Amino acid sequence: MGSSVRVKEASVITPSEPTPSSVLALSALDSQLFLRFTIEYLLVYNPCPGLDQAATTARLKAALARALVLYYPFAGRVRPRPDGPGLEVVCGAQGAVFIEASADCYNVNDFEKAPKTVTHWRSLLSLHVADVLKGSPPLVVQMTWLRDGAAALGVGINHCICDGIGSAEFLNHFAELANEKRELLLGLRPKQKPVWERHLLNPPRGKQTRVDSASHPEFNRVADLCNFMSKVSTGLKPTSVTFDKRRLNELKRLARCTSQPGESVCYTSFEVLAAHVWRSWARAIGFPPNQKLKLVFSVNVRNRVKPGLPEGYYGNAFVLGCAETSAKELEERGIGFGSGLVKRAKERVGNEHVREVMELVWERKACPDPVGVLIVSQWSRLGLEKIDVGMGKLLHVGPVCCDRYCLFLPLREHCVSVKVMVAVPTLAVDNYQLFMRASHL
């Protein structure tokens, strides 16, 4: 299948104007060991009759060059700091990569369901940067024209430089520059100027606080009672289940009915959906009753640290929330129990908690252990569905490759609806989908 995607040209795109030549330090949160990978987005646009493909590709390349003027670290290169812990970006306008391609193996309808395999769409971002520290570009964009005139825009952004919110802000700025009609209305500058200021999320020099590891379960190991990684990573098959407003409200009702005595019964859509996915996944795979399980998810700290971070801060400004319980409790005590665990995990994240995380990852190189863990990432609140590059209607937003990390994805036409995408072991797929759809079970 991958051989049917033909790469026409790969170009290095540099900023269209002179940019500062400097070395910028990344923060303690940016430099975490588990963030040294590439966030890979796949945006699919419906066919746009009469669209000049060559002119559109040229317009996107020019827009990328202009976007790199304000976001010039994306044109730099990441390396370890030579004089201490952490990473830094060498900014010398080295450039991002833009790939032009065509594919006669896909049409727009292929993206309405989950991919057939975990790597089925891999060729739609053919340059996969496995290790940005080896001198690879932190930003790769691929425009692939599909058989029916639709377009797939694959984007890879290294996680060391930004988080999901920051990457979405960059992509929306790039899109506004590429969309000639919107550019006339909005001008050349983004709605808010990008802010670097990574020192704001570093622990104070020379000051160490005593951190209670029990208050940070995301970094603690649990006993492996079932050969966990083999159980959850072997023979994976992608799945996709959509929850509209009605189904989300049904989950909230069930969560209220199954909450613990004295528990707050006001849950957000994220809390109930995360708990429902976690419980369905665990039940379908079938862990031993006493296996400790964790649900790990990102918590935006831009307004949780003191002082708050400035608008436009596009670095990694999140820490991991962590809900933890046994497989038996997760199943038997219902969605309200799980929702309460998720809610309390979010509420633990305050200024002091964030400062402790910075010290743990900076001084002690703390890193989450994968045993017992399901990771949920909420892409549905990033604004990815608003990325309008002037190629018509956006049909699909999702990852390039589907894996065992669960994503909450936006639906372009239904702002409240959420698509849940995760790859589960093939033998567990039927039960997982049954539990996801029959939330009363």
* Distance from C-alpha of 170 to C-alpha of 367, rounded to nearest angstrom: 27
CA 150 to centroid of chain Cα atoms: 24
Which among 305, 318, 304, 309 has a CA at the least distance from the CA of 381? 318
Radius of gyration of the chain (CA): 22
- Residue 348 makes CB contacts below 8 A (sequence gap 6+) with 215, 321
The answer to whether the peptide bond before residue 217 is cis (omega within 30 degrees of 0) is: no
Cα separations in angstroms, 287 against 8, 65, 227, 329, 332:
47, 50, 10, 12, 13
CA 408 to centroid of chain Cα atoms: 9
pLDDT greater than 60 at residue 187: no
* Distance from C-alpha of 120 to C-alpha of 311, rounded to nearest angstrom: 37
Q: Which residue has the higher pLDDT, 50 or 284?
A: 284
* Distance from C-alpha of 309 to C-alpha of 307, rounded to nearest angstrom: 7
As annotated, the active-site residues are 159, 388
Q: What would the mean pLDDT of 122-144 be, rounded to a whole number?
A: 92
Q: How much of the chain exceeds pLDDT 70, in percent?
A: 94
CB 30 within 8 Å of CB 316: yes
User: In which residue are the tokens 């002091």 written?
Assistant: 352
CB 218 within 8 Å of CB 320: yes
Domain boundaries, the chain: 2-201, 214-437
pTM exceeds 0.75, yes or no: yes
- pLDDT tens digits, 78-109: 999 998 889 999 999 999 999 999 998 898 89
Q: What is the CATH number of domain 2-201?
A: 3.30.559.10
* Distance from C-alpha of 190 to C-alpha of 192, rounded to nearest angstrom: 5
Cα separations in angstroms, 253 against 62, 182, 249, 376, 411:
50, 41, 6, 22, 23
* Residue 237, SS3 per DSSP: strand
What's the half-sphere exposure (Cβ side, CA atoms, 13 Å) at 106?
A: 31
The CATH superfamily label for domain 214-437 reads: Chloramphenicol acetyltransferase-like domain (3.30.559.10)
* Distance from C-alpha of 406 to C-alpha of 278, rounded to nearest angstrom: 9
Q: Are 2-201 and 214-437 in the same CATH fold?
A: yes
Count of all residues that appear for the chain in the document: 441
pLDDT greater than 60 at residue 182: no
CB 155 within 8 Å of CB 125: yes
Q: What would the mean pLDDT of 255-277 be, rounded to a whole number?
A: 87
